Structure 1
């Protein structure tokens, strides 16, 4: 049988991936000369244009550099990457700390003209397929019954639910459309789940640090939050979880399993399996925020906790708010055995979701446009992460530590102890630089010297200079 010729776009990605792994694991070291374009063409059986594109890919991530009249060389240095933060250690009975005014100030600065939006956790508009989304809106208006102005079913757009179920195959999860309820974004999905599962005064367990939006939601519902230690690589500490389940009356758990916000950690698949089994033992539901699961930098999408759910206790929440269309507010939940409760709460609060935006997203999923967009977005974000890590190593104070997310949009930075990042935030606003201070990701008096940065931006010279300025202001705060 004749061998099918590999497409050029896949060929260049394969070549770049092999070299990237060799650089990251130290097989190719800083200063090593790389094979010539002619050698790449001969060894891989590709055109010179494909070989050149592979090297452009590596250059965009600051992994290699071109030297005139000499060739391509490894630029990346593992020693320039900041050390990892230690596992977090929140107190089991810590006093509540109010950060409402701080969060409000961070939100207020987001819309200011000229402000660098490092405080957000989503991609810049330049990285989104806005023109194609606009075309999708026109098509949806034309094809939907009543042009999309009528109420939809409480469960949501059937076409979208069918595509979400199909998409769940990537995480080896067997869902069907009837198990899914659409929502107005992921936070709305989490909100519906919490209202369905808990009552005022109940205790829920979360990893720490965690999204300030989810903390505020829990407070609004009158819930007590038990913050669990987390590792910047593997997420929530399962030993701490097991201990908490033995000693405390916990009504539900709420974890960001893949590329958490703000640490960027990803629970290994084995940890997910163990966590689901542990919670099943105590019959405690898990609300899983899997908002960033599609934005992975490895070869395939990580599994979800829902993948291992045999008892219906995992309520899997997702959205395209971070990956495709933040303003469309399209999300979903597969609530397992709690479907009727969640459906009832949605009917009380929303009646139905916005049909026209759901139809647009369904079209993106159905036609493959979403996956094509994601491939490009993942490549850009991975390159940005490496650039941010290098900028932090080059310009931030000595002793600064930073997480190493394998996906998502945010990086967690821990500055040397004496620096208060809220004071630093106030100073940075004068230069129109915003970030998210660490204290807003907890209800306790901790993470004062930490901050979260969004690398989902368009990398350019101004961004690089602003990061240099931020690092300089942090160094000055040490004096």
Structure 2
């Protein structure tokens, strides 16, 4: 690691000990001088370590005594409640709300807490620019020709090679490239369903998936979902005979950020395979784990080809490149037919550029930095919520991903809050966006993908004041 970023490496290690409970609230940390000796660093670097931990509210300084572990921000706030959607299927999209929120996308005059993507400051833009130039030099016809029908072979080979990180054993031939993650989900839904079929999803769920299902004439059955462990398996068992397909985001889904335990993934794969119900797995956040190892996917445990594993680089590397893919298992032929009809070919230059970026090893280096920044952001944002929002606010505790799910008392209507916040140049994602039922009106999702700054902190403080006015 470069010396310039050594303080981040050291502060990250200490932060990990605090989050895991190895260092408890009230424990005294080594002095600046002792930290210098332990890590072989200078005084300035050691001071930056403590400043970084203080900025994340993980430690506090006591005059004449030193630094001590602080109570973690989320320890002051309860978790959001387990969702309890009604048992029937619904089709009540919040009229105009989703379009109104997404119309703020790309506006530089707003603090976009509503957009679940990493900001450009967290992306390797210069390196990607070089890969684009190199791709035009390497590709036949400078990248103006069609790609092979199944997608860029280099990209498929790199994705297959990376599947070992989550226990997959994919080959390049198992994959079909798409124009981003939503395009992959779209192909899967179209291949597996017909109007009137019922699809099971988490509740709350990504609005794009709900809109897609609705546009295809599907009935959506929303499942009770825990903010830490994801979909409640017993609830899925109760409705298994009512559904025709299932779409889940097992790893760090939006907006809850929950991560399904490994045993739950195994059980769901087995349950759905037994009833021959296809599982579309959206794994777009899987690489954004904060600590430890990359969690396995449902596809890891798929022995029958019943899981269609979808992902993209939209949340990790280049949202605008629209590079995604699907490993469709036994449904590959159906997916290929749909791609021929709806796309013919994927984007040539961006696929080649991403493939080369993955092959160079730069992607893993970038992911390490991105995950560190997002974990730090999660701490900053949670601390701000604990400091500035009402005391009865509840907030999720994601171990990865890009979102925090915030729950207020029922006096706060976040659709109304959106309109008020926009007058202060703040965009949020009201909870009603994430369901087709009348629920979550007192909840919101905020993205932790913005680069943390004094301005973002002040906007969160301002947002907290607005919530106080409504509560």
TM tier, shorter chain? over 0.9
Q: Quick check: 1:417–1:449 contact (8 Å CA) kept in 2?
A: yes
Cα distance, 1:48 vs. partner?
3.8
**Match for residue 228 of structure 2?**
233
Match status 1:200 vs 2:187: no
Please give the residue correspondences for 1:268-279 in structure 2 after superposition, counting only pairs within 5 Å.
268-279=261-272
**Match for residue 163 of structure 1?**
158
Distance in 1 between residues matched to 2:196 and 2:389, nearest whole Å: 42
**Match for residue 3 of structure 1?**
none
Cα distance, 1:192 vs. partner?
0.3
Cα distance, 1:76 vs. partner?
4.4
Cα distance, 1:81 vs. partner?
3.6
- Residue segments in structure 2 that go unaligned for 5+ positions in a row: none
Please give the residue correspondences for 1:401-416 in structure 2 after superposition, counting only pairs within 5 Å.
401-416=394-409
Match status 1:337 vs 2:330: yes
Match status 1:216 vs 2:208: no
SS at match of 1:228: strand
- Residue segments in structure 1 that go unaligned for 5+ positions in a row: 1-5
Cα distance, 1:126 vs. partner?
1.1
Please give the residue correspondences for 1:1-400 in structure 2 after superposition, counting only pairs within 5 Å.
15-43=10-38, 46-48=40-42, 54-55=49-50, 58-65=53-60, 71-77=66-72, 81-93=76-88, 95-246=90-241, 248=242, 250-400=243-393
Cα distance, 1:393 vs. partner?
1.0
SS at match of 1:110: coil
| Most deviating of 444-453 and 70-79 | 70-79
Distance in 2 between residues matched to 1:268 and 1:13, nearest whole Å: 29
Please give the residue correspondences for 1:423-462 in structure 2 after superposition, counting only pairs within 5 Å.
423-462=416-455
Relative to 1, partners in 2 of residues 1:194 and 1:56: Cα closer, same or farther, differing over 3 Å? same
Cα distance, 1:93 vs. partner?
1.7
Q: Quick check: 2:89–2:222 contact (8 Å CA) kept in 1?
A: no
Q: RMSD of the TM alignment (CA)?
A: 2.2
User: Residues 145-177 of structure 1, C-alpha deviation per residue, up to 9 Å, x if partnerless?
Assistant: 110000111210000000000111100111100
Q: Quick check: 2:306–2:329 contact (8 Å CA) kept in 1?
A: yes
SS at match of 1:344: helix
Cα distance, 1:104 vs. partner?
1.0
TM-score of the two chains, using structure 1 as the length reference: 0.93
Distance in 1 between residues matched to 2:251 and 2:429, nearest whole Å: 20
Q: Quick check: 1:59–1:65 contact (8 Å CA) kept in 2?
A: yes
Relative to 1, partners in 2 of residues 1:69 and 1:132: Cα closer, same or farther, differing over 3 Å? farther
Q: Quick check: 1:24–1:78 contact (8 Å CA) kept in 2?
A: no
Distance in 1 between residues matched to 2:319 and 2:107, nearest whole Å: 18
Distance in 2 between residues matched to 1:14 and 1:375, nearest whole Å: 11
Relative to 1, partners in 2 of residues 1:56 and 1:340: Cα closer, same or farther, differing over 3 Å? farther
Cα distance, 1:54 vs. partner?
5.0
Distance in 2 between residues matched to 1:300 and 1:423, nearest whole Å: 40
SS at match of 2:103: helix
Cα distance, 1:24 vs. partner?
2.5
Cα distance, 1:86 vs. partner?
1.4
Distance in 1 between residues matched to 2:49 and 2:462, nearest whole Å: 32
Q: Quick check: 2:57–2:72 contact (8 Å CA) kept in 1?
A: no
Distance in 1 between residues matched to 2:74 and 2:291, nearest whole Å: 22
Cα distance, 1:113 vs. partner?
4.0
Q: Quick check: 2:57–2:73 contact (8 Å CA) kept in 1?
A: no
TM-score of the two chains, using structure 2 as the length reference: 0.94
Cα distance, 1:59 vs. partner?
4.2
Distance in 1 between residues matched to 2:355 and 2:424, nearest whole Å: 41
